[in-house]
Structures are given as C-alpha cells and as structure tokens.
A and B are shown apart, each in its own frame.
Chain A
Amino acid sequence: MGEIISTREAYGRALCEYGENPDIVAFDADLTICTMSCYFAKKYPERFRNAGIAEANMIGMSAGVAATGKTVFCHTFAMFAAGRGYDQIRNSVAYPRLNVKVVGTHAGLSVGEDGATHQCIEDLSLMRTIPGMVVINPCDANETEAAVKAMIEYQGPCYLRLGRSGVENVTPDFKGYDFRIGKGVTLKEGNDVTIIATGLMVQIALEATELLEENGITARVIDMHTIKPIDRDIIVKAAKETGAIVTTEEHNIIGGLGAAVAEVLGETYPVPLIRHGVEDIFGHSGTAQALMEKYGLTKNKLAEKVRLAIGMKR
C-alpha cells in the first residue's frame, strides 16, 4: 500500500521544489497553510504575495504578472477559485491566454466538516467550458507532482483541482506510468467494462475492481487526470473493447468527467454509460469518510453501477 498523503500537500512540496525557477510567482488568498502554498511562500518570499481574502483581485493580479512574461500560480479553495473567480478566470486569464495556473484545493465533498458552502462540486464543469482552458484533477501525490511539472512546461492557462484529505499514493506502483497533459492512463486492464475515474475516485475504482472480480467481472480502470483536453482515443478504445463505461468523480454528475466522456461517446462510438458521482445535490457537514458513504462515493456503490452498465450492453 502506498503512502497516504493529500494532493494539496504533494502539490505544496512540488511547487516549492520547482519554484526555484526564477520566473515563477505565486499568490494566495489567506489560505497558504491550507492550500500548502506556504512552502513556496516561505522559501521564496520575494516572489510570493498574499492577496488577502480577495480572490477576484488575486486572479486579476495573476493575469497582470503573467502579462509581463512570468508563470503565475494562484491559490485558494476550489469554490472561491472556479466559483467566485469564474469571470476573472474567463476574461482576464483565459481570453488573453495568459500563463496563469489556478489552483483550487479542498474540492469536492472530502472537504468534510466545513460543509456545502466549501464543497465545490461544480469546478470541473465551470472550468471545462472556458475555451482553451486545461483542467487537471490528479489522483495522488505522484500524479500531482507530475502535473505541476507539466503545467510549468505548458504555456497557457490551467486549472488544477486538489483535495484536502489524504489519499493513497497509487500511481508509482504502475510500471511505465507517464504523465502527459491530455493523456489518460490505463491503470488496470479488463475486458468486460471500463471505469474511467478522476481524482480520489481512482483509488476507489481500483478497489471496486476487486469486488467485481468476485463476480467474475474484469474491469478496466482508466485514470483520467486531465478533464480537458479529454483523451478521446482512450475513451473510444475502451468503448470498442469493453462495450460499457462507468465514469466516477467527486463532482456533480452534471458537467464534469461524466459529461466529457458522454460527449465523446455520443459523437463517436455510443455504448452504455453510467455516471457515478454527486447526484446534483449539495454537500453537507461531516467527516470526509462519512460524506463519501452518505453520497454513495464508495467502492460498493461504484461496483453496483458497473454491474448495471454491463446489464445495459446489447
């Protein structure tokens, strides 16, 4: 079993490591010890500015710094980045194609006790619909570090979705794991059905395959760390070879990964598709684990959806 570490913690370490690049500037909106931008801020104080609790201005300032040729990372909770900052991300960052990396942490229900106002289940949808935006949702520490490196190399606006809770570091165990923006990773082969997962649902998908094996079902698992641009090839291949697909995400089933996969399938190779995720309802207070149970983001519920999808095959 891999190390348990949150993606935000892994992110903070990675930004600090790659932050030696003198062209990197970072902002945070009074959440450095939560988003973990604090490591960078401490090591490179001259290239860090606290924006205070003023996210709209933080994103606008990030655009301005990027307009002078720098690479800017700006941080806050996913809710206040993608939600509150939507217009600023769209008009000040994405439209002029500025090199700003918007980092939204504490995404999804696994925020836990803070409750629905802080549990962003719409960010993938909001960010995905902006022309030219790259949207990445890594599943673990290893993938997060790789994503940070790739985002620095990529010139243009990106949104990075990170979680609060600890997750198992699963990707280092997969031989030949190679992170490239826009390329999904097949973590497990299977022929009966494909689970396309993103973020912390990747680990749950892997666990679900063990339950399915008890029923003699071999499920393929694709780690779709990039929601946009979505990897069409890997989706179509999975549809052709396994005949049914289940998507799983810690996000509203509307507009996120499930929607992106549905769009590809509908236009290329329609097969049964079931979207597993938050079923268009707001979150609640509770421990992360209790909420994942309450909202059905579990291996059991996912396995149920997978059996349903197989039953829909013609």
Chain B
Amino acid sequence: MEQEQKKKMLSLGMKIREQALKAVQVPNSGHIGGSFSEADILAVLYFDKMNIDPENPRMQDRDRFVLSKGHASPALYATLALRGFFPVEELKTFRNADSDLSGHVEMTKVRGVDMSAGSLGQGLSAAVGMAVSGQIYQKDYRVYAMVGDGEIQEGQIWEAVMAAGNYKLDNLMLFVDNNNLQIDGTVEEVMSPYPIDDKFKAFNWNVICIDGHDPEAIAAAVEQAGACKGKPTVAIAKTVKGKGVSFMENNVNWHGKTPTPEQYEQAFKEIREQIEELEV
C-alpha cells in the first residue's frame, strides 16, 4: 500500500470515529469504545476493498459485510454515511424513536446494512449463510464479518466457525476485533477466549494475526484471504478499545458509557487534530 493511501485510510478511520461520536452525542447514548476499535477495518473494507455501490445498495452480487457485534453500530452507520449510502446529516437521528438508525444495526431500514444484528453470537452464522449461498449459486461475491473478542464467548460462534471450516467457505473472511475488553473487565478476567488463533486453526481456518489499526496490514490480510483456497480466513485484529481518544483508549468504562460535555469537546478536538495531521 502506498504511503498516501495508508494516510487516506487512517484519516478515514478518524473521520468514521468523528461521525460515530457525533451520532452518539445527540441521544447521548451508544457504544463508542467498540466503534473506535473497529473503525480502521471498516475504512479499509468500505473505502478500498469491498465491491459495493452506494447507488445500488442491494446489488445482487455485491460483497457483504455483517457486523455481528451489532452494538458497534455508530461506526458502521458513520462508514455507510461517509461512503454515500445515506446523508451524513442523518446520523444525528441515531437512537431516536422516529429514526431508522436503531441502536443495533438493522438491514430492513438502513441503506447498506446487509444483516441485522444485536443478540451477540448470531451475525457470524448469517455471514456463513451468505457464503453458503455464494457457494451454492457459484457467485463471486465475498462475505466479510466482524465479531468482538467478548462475543466469541457465545457458543453459537463456534458452531458457525465449525460450519464455515467444514463447508470450506473460502469466500468468507472474519475479523475478530480483539480489543481485549468487555463490559465486566478484560476478556481474560471475564472468560478467556485465548488462544484464539489455535481455536480457529483447529476448525480448519486460515488464520492471520494483524494490527487492527494498520491499514496496510488489514488490506494485505484481505488480499491473502481472497487468495486462500478451500478455507475461510480469520484476521485476529489486535485493536485498542476507544482508539483515537486518549482518555478512552484501553479503558473498560468506554463500552457503553457516554462522555460529559467537556469530554465530548476534548474527544472531538483530539480526533480533529489527528485528521488534520494526516491530511497535511
């Protein structure tokens, strides 16, 4: 990846965070930490890798993305708005009773959302189903999914992982947003899923470990997944919960908590500065 492209992706990641935070600010409700940890992966997928058309969101042979950790909707909604699926202005209606932008991602109402999710552990199964359909009907589209590292404590995740390996779904790529934090503490404190890589290997997956905030590594993993035959690919992405805002980073409190007015100001300032630095 060219340095310029890398900077562009990093800048998009920060813009996603900026818009996600704006979305959360109006209702003062929503999940910031996990939105910020996944933002760079969303930037690379939606602005570089995925075959999608904002003008034709239901295009039959488009690539698909399933946000299994559906609570991290602010970042996905921000990504879709910035990519042109709907006006950025609409983000202000997030979590409003009269809005289409529900707290958890929803496919029937939001342009560009490929699957509704929210009850943890379910989205990956749907992604596997989309990949099965691609396999049955010999379609070229690819299916991407994202789960949280806390989410993989759900048993259904491993049912889906077993199925994808068994069906040899090489049209499927999963990201594990490994920010190491969940509501009640670190994932080890609550219920350790480690080692994550060996578990996927045991289920016949192609396993890649990456820095989830390095656009170059994310893009390379996507390319590697595309070239891998006969196996689904998982990128275990080491990420930082709350990435991009100093007082939120690696702080367990920022799962569902919202900032004070002063903290919003500080957060927007930090994000803006990083965008400006990247766009020099």
Contact = CB atoms under 8 A, between A and B. Distances in A.
Task: Verify that A and B bind, or say they do not.
Answer: yes
Contacts, number: 106
B20 interface: no
Given A46-B136, A91-B119, A96-B107, A65 B163 contact: no
B130 A67 contact: yes
Interface in A63-86: 63-70
Interface in B112-146: 114-119, 121-134, 136-137
B163 to A, nearest CB: 6
A96 B130 CA distance: 15
Contact of B133 (A25, A54, A56, A95): A25
Interface in B143-169: 155-156, 159-160, 162-163, 166-167
Q: Place the interface of chain B in its size category.
A: 35 or more
**Chain B interface, DSSP helix/strand/loop, else mixed:** helix
A49 B167 contact: yes
Contacts of B38: none
Contacts of A92: 116, 119, 122, 125-126
Contacts of A70: 133
A61 interface: yes
B18 interface: no
A61 B128 contact: yes
A56 B115 contact: no
A67 B156 contact: no
Contacts of B108: 96-97
Contacts of B136: 25, 46-47, 65
Given A56-B159, A57-B156, A96-B115, A64 B130 contact: yes
Nearest to A69: B60
B113 to A, nearest CB: 9
A110 interface: no
Contacts of B216: none
Contact of B163 (A46, A61, A69, A96): A61
A87 B167 CA distance: 24
A26 to B, nearest CB: 11
B40 interface: no
Q: Which of B66, B129, B131, B155 neighbours the largest number of chain A CB atoms within 10 Å of its CB?
A: B129
Contacts of A51: 163
Contacts of B116: 91-92, 95-96
A60 B125 contact: yes
Q: Place the interface of chain A in its size category.
A: 20 to 34
A64 B126 CA distance: 4
Nearest to A51: B163
A93 to B, nearest CB: 10
A52 B156 CA distance: 13
Contacts of A59: 125
Nearest to B127: A64
Contacts of A47: 136
A286 to B, nearest CB: 33
A88 interface: yes
Given A60-B156, A67-B114, A88-B122, A52 B162 contact: yes
Contacts of A57: 125, 128, 156, 159-160, 162-163
Contacts of A61: 125-126, 128-129, 132, 160, 163
A60 B128 contact: yes
A91 B107 CA distance: 12
Contacts of B130: 64-65, 67-68
B170 interface: no
B129 A65 contact: yes
B146 to A, nearest CB: 15
B106 interface: yes
A131 to B, nearest CB: 12
18 contacts: A25-B132, A49-B132, A54-B156, A54-B159, A54-B163, A60-B122, A60-B123, A60-B128, A61-B128, A61-B163, A64-B130, A64-B131, A67-B114, A68-B137, A70-B133, A91-B122, A96-B107, A96-B116
- For the complex of A and B, the 6 pairs showing the least CB-CB separation, nearest first, are A64-B129, A60-B125, A57-B159, A61-B129, A64-B126, A54-B159
Interface of B: 60, 64, 66, 106-108, 114-119, 121-134, 136-137, 155-156, 159-160, 162-163, 166-167
